[in-house]
């Protein structure tokens, strides 16, 4: 019998038994929708986490060193870290290690009063070296960043974040204005581009950057650093660079086993890999749950179609008596199973797309179109229709037409 005629008969049977068809589709719809939503949201969450992590650390080709070893807690500031990381350590890392391309120095302080006219704020005040933008992949939206010459000259210049601009300079252009940091005047020479939120959701734009030498000698009066950021020449060798930095600092600080390090080194690439693995494990679990729902939907199709075979014995007997072969009966029921699963897959993909839109807006995640889950959902639904439709189709083809007509 021609395939077109078999398809038409399968479609007529589906229309005739609408309730049964809807029930068979339901499991597939739920499974496919769940798979599409969970996969898309998982990818959106992964990308958002990586972006926030990158906003906080800048680039993944760096090694971050802070003083204090495992004894320090919270964000490193001039108040809560011991004075064990010196400017000389940063110079040694930059000049003595072949794996290191560049080094940025940092002094950080919080709860510093910053004023402009009758406006006041308490942003993070960070002294950084002039190569900060290159190592952090940041950019200046307006004005300019300070130079090595200004850093060496202890210039009182500042580059502010967008949150500071909104607080201290509402409706004004801050470039060229003079604000006071702990009653020390600083001229604003630039405005940073917004970096958004960090991994914990806090703003990364509430800060003021000043030359690190100015911060050390004119503002904080401290000769130690809260962090050193070393950029590696080859990101693939960041682990080796981490070992080299640790060995150099142990030698300079006269640390011998079993003494503990008085510094902590963080490899952002390794940390991000751990975060990605944890997120990937969770995504696999959620996808596994969705696939289980799909398999349950396939079992439902097989069960209901097996019942349908028993109820349609007379129909099968009539078709066999007028010349339909066993292969025709197999194809008809197999087509019905595949069509039910395919329609359920299409409906599930459509519902999954809508659900993904709602979920990403609710969770304030980027709306990322990941087409692979939807394509895989359609293919998977067809496969489920074939696999779980084989037994009912075979069962229908084994019915004796004479006994079926007598029933």
Site of tokens 């350590």: 89
φ, ψ for residue 190 (rounded to 5)?
-165, 160
Q: Regarding beta strands 207-211 and 227-232, do their DSSP bridges make them parallel or antiparallel, or are they unpaired?
A: unpaired
Residue 135 in contact with residue 106, Cβ under 8 Å? no
pLDDT of the residue at 215: 94
CB half-sphere exposure, 93, CA atoms < 13 A: 33
How far is it, in rounded angstroms, from Cα 252 to Cα 266? 19
3-class DSSP assignment, residue 96: helix
How far is it, in rounded angstroms, from Cα 374 to Cα 378? 6
Tokens of 105: 């120095």
How far is it, in rounded angstroms, from Cα 283 to Cα 31? 15
pLDDT of the residue at 341: 82
Tokens of 397: 């083809």
What CA dihedral angle connects 241, 247, 253 and 258, to 10 degrees?
130
pLDDT of the residue at 52: 64
Residue 39 in contact with residue 373, Cβ under 8 Å? yes
Beta bridge partner(s), residue 187: 157, 178
List C-alpha distances in Å: 372 to 35, 288, 376. Answer: 11, 16, 6
Residue 396 in contact with residue 317, Cβ under 8 Å? no
pLDDT of the residue at 39: 74
Q: Regarding beta strands 124-128 and 207-211, do their DSSP bridges make them parallel or antiparallel, or are they unpaired?
A: parallel
How far is it, in rounded angstroms, from Cα 161 to Cα 363? 26
The residue among 13, 38, 18, 25 whose CA lies nearest residue 388 is: 25
Helices (H), strands (E): how many in the chain? 13, 12
Q: Regarding beta strands 114-116 and 119-121, do their DSSP bridges make them parallel or antiparallel, or are they unpaired?
A: antiparallel
Tokens of 197: 């939120």
pLDDT in tens, 382-392: 888 888 888 88
CB half-sphere exposure, 211, CA atoms < 13 A: 22
pLDDT of the residue at 114: 93
How far is it, in rounded angstroms, from Cα 319 to Cα 313? 10
pLDDT of the residue at 367: 66
How far is it, in rounded angstroms, from Cα 393 to Cα 388? 9
How far is it, in rounded angstroms, from Cα 402 to Cα 389? 24
Residue numbers of the chain with a pLDDT score lower than 50? none
Q: How many angstroms separate the first and last alpha carbons of the chain?
A: 26
How far is it, in rounded angstroms, from Cα 129 to Cα 78? 16
pLDDT of the residue at 405: 65
Q: Is the pTM of this model over 0.75?
A: no
φ, ψ for residue 242 (rounded to 5)?
-60, -45
pLDDT of the residue at 73: 55
In this structure, the chain runs to a length of 407
DSSP 395: H
pLDDT of the residue at 49: 66
DSSP output for 139-180? -EEEE----HHHHHTT--EEEE-HHHHHHHSTTS--TT-EEE
Site of tokens 């003494």: 259
The shares of helix, strand and coil residues in the chain, as percent rounded to the nearest 5, are 55, 15, 25
Q: How far is CA 213 from the centre of its chain?
A: 37
Tokens of 399: 């019915």
DSSP 158: E
């Amino acid at each position: 019998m021609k395939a077109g005629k078999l398809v038409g008969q399968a479609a007529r049977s589906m229309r005739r038994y609408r309730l049964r068809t809807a029930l068979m589709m339901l499991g597939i719809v739920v499974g496919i929708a769940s798979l599409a939503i969970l996969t898309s949201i998982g990818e959106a969450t992964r990308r958002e986490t990586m972006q926030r992590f990158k906003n906080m650390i800048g680039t993944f080709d760096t090694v971050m060193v802070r003083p204090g070893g495992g004894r320090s807690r919270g964000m490193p500031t001039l108040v809560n870290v011991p004075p064990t990381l010196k400017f000389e350590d940063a110079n040694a890392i930059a000049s003595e290690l072949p794996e290191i391309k560049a080094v940025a120095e940092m002094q950080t302080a919080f709860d510093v009063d910053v004023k402009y006219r009758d406006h006041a704020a308490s942003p993070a005040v960070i002294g950084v070296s002039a190569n900060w933008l290159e190592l952090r992949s940041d950019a200046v939206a307006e004005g300019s960043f300070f130079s090595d010459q200004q850093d060496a000259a202890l210039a009182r210049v500042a580059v502010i974040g967008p949150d500071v601009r909104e607080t201290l300079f509402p409706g004004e252009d801050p470039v060229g204005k003079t604000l006071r940091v702990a009653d020390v005047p600083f001229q604003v020479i630039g405005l940073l581009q917004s970096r958004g939120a960090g991994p914990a959701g806090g703003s990364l734009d509430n800060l003021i950057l000043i030359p690190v030498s100015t911060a050390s000698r004119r503002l904080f009066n401290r000769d130690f650093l809260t962090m050193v950021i070393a950029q590696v020449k080859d990101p693939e060798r960041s682990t080796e660079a981490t070992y080299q930095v640790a060995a150099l600092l142990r030698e300079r600080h006269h640390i011998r086993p079993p003494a503990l390090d008085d510094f902590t080194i963080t490899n952002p690439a390794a940390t991000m890999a751990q975060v990605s693995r944890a997120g990937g494990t969770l995504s696999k679990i959620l996808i596994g749950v969705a696939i289980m729902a799909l398999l349950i939907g396939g079992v439902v199709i097989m069960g209901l179609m097996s019942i349908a075979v028993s109820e349609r014995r007379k129909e099968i007997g009539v078709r066999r008596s007028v010349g339909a072969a066993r292969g025709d009966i197999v194809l008809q029921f197999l087509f019905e199973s595949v069509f039910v699963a395919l329609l359920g897959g299409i409906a599930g993909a459509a519902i999954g797309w809508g659900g993904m839109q709602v979920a990403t807006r609710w969770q304030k995640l980027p709306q990322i179109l990941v087409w692979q889950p939807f394509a895989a959902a359609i293919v998977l639904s067809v496969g489920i229709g074939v696999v779980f439709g084989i037994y009912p189709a075979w069962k229908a083809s084994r019915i004796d037409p004479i006994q079926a007509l007598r029933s």
